[in-house]
Amino acid sequence: MNNPLAIVVLVSGIAYGTPLLIAGLGELLAERSGVLNLGIEGMMLVGAAVAFWISQTMGGPAWLALTCAALGAMAASAVTAGIFALVCIGFRANQIIAGLALTIFGGSVGLSSYLASIGHLSGEAAHHQMNAIDILGWKGVPILGPVLFDQDILVYLSWVLVVLIWWYVYRSRYGLNLRAVGEQPEAADAMGVNVTAYRVTHTVIGGALAGLAGAYYTLALTPSWSDGLTAGAGWIALGLVIVAFWRPGRLVVGAYLFGMLTSLGFTLASRGTSIPPEVFGSLPYLMTIVVLVLGSSIWRRGSFGSPMALGTYYEREEH
């Protein structure tokens, strides 16, 4: 009952879509504040390397090592996001150029590879791995069991994050301030909102979530290390934020759809399909290009819904 192709594809889509969802939520917060961070891919790789390093070197119970690994990944990526915020918000550097530089700095030829090299991570079997939790013993329930009651802790955490971020952005006073900073920073400043503080804070939080998304690869999805293991997932997460029109709920649908496309090749190959998995592996990237092309068309028509001050520097006028 729980092994039909549709169920397997959906469950795999949740697994492969979870890092996209977590990274996308972080980017959504940053962009809502008016900061365009193209360095998600680099931050995800830094988080993945740090998480695997900690989990491989730390003793004690598995739950403690995995928790410390996830927190370490978030801290490392938050630091890189803080540097990005300092350069862009403090020194007024171009956000696109700085984001691309961050991707190179943290990417497969940068900091993440260096950390993996000095930690001798390549080729090591994972000492610890996040396993699925059988909630209430219901994983055998037809259809819903494997989808809702047999996921790992980070999947459940991502669902909680969606609800919390939706409430924060649309139902809290701070969320109202955040949207004002991203739309009309001058008006927000006039109302007493510290634009710089909001932008730095949400950029750093977004970086921490990108690090957690990277940690998901080495702690749960593919518990091992290889250079560039995120394989462009950061760029897909960027595209998903646009697809979702900067709304957390829609981001869930987009992330899981792209997750299903990513896992489809492996799922069909395991069932004896002769189509090369590379054909299906290219689908998420082709879809990202299509989405961005369609999105740019909508943007030109003025109905895109993006934060009006996205990617622009704001300097407070002194009176």
Q: What's the confidence (pLDDT) of residue 111?
A: 84
Among residues 246, 139, 145, 155, which one has the least CA distance to residue 202?
A: 246
Give CA–CA dist 224/56, Å, rounded. Answer: 10
Sign of CA dihedral 308, 310, 313, 315: positive
- Which residues, 6 or more positions from 44, have their beta carbon under 8 angstroms from its beta carbon? 19, 23, 77, 210, 211, 213, 214, 217, 230, 233, 234
Other Cβ atoms closer than 10 A to 90: 10
Task: State the amino acid at position 295 in one-letter form.
Answer: G
Provide the 10 A C-beta neighbour count for residue 45: 32
SS (H, E, C) 44-83: HHHHHHHHHHHHHHCCCCHHHHHHHHHHHHHHHHHHHHHH
The confidence score (pLDDT) of residue 274 equals 63
C-alpha torsion angle, residues 215, 130, 250, 162 (rounded to 10): -90
What would the two tokens of residue 20 be? 């996209």
Alpha-carbon span 165 to 50, nearest angstrom: 26
Structure tokens at 256: 């899981």
Residue 59: phi and psi, rounded to 5, are -90, -165
Domain annotation for the chain: domains and CATH numbers:
5-300 (1.10.3470)
The distance of Cα 3 from the centroid of its chain, to the nearest Å, equals 29
**Relative orientation angle of helices 111-118 and 40-57, to the nearest 10 degrees:** 10
Q: Are 30 and 38 in contact (CB under 8 A)?
A: no
pTM, full prediction: 0.91
Contact 18, 255 (CB under 8 A): yes
pLDDT by position in tens, the chain (length 319): 556 778 888 999 999 999 999 999 999 999 999 999 999 999 999 999 999 999 999 988 999 999 999 999 999 999 999 999 999 999 999 999 999 999 998 877 788 888 888 888 888 888 999 999 988 888 888 888 888 999 999 999 999 999 999 999 999 999 999 999 999 999 999 999 999 999 999 999 999 999 999 999 999 998 999 988 998 899 999 989 988 889 999 999 999 998 988 888 777 766 666 666 666 667 777 776 776 666 555 554 444 567 999 988 887 765 4
Backbone angles phi, psi at 305, to 5 degrees: 85, 10
Structure tokens at 304: 């895109």
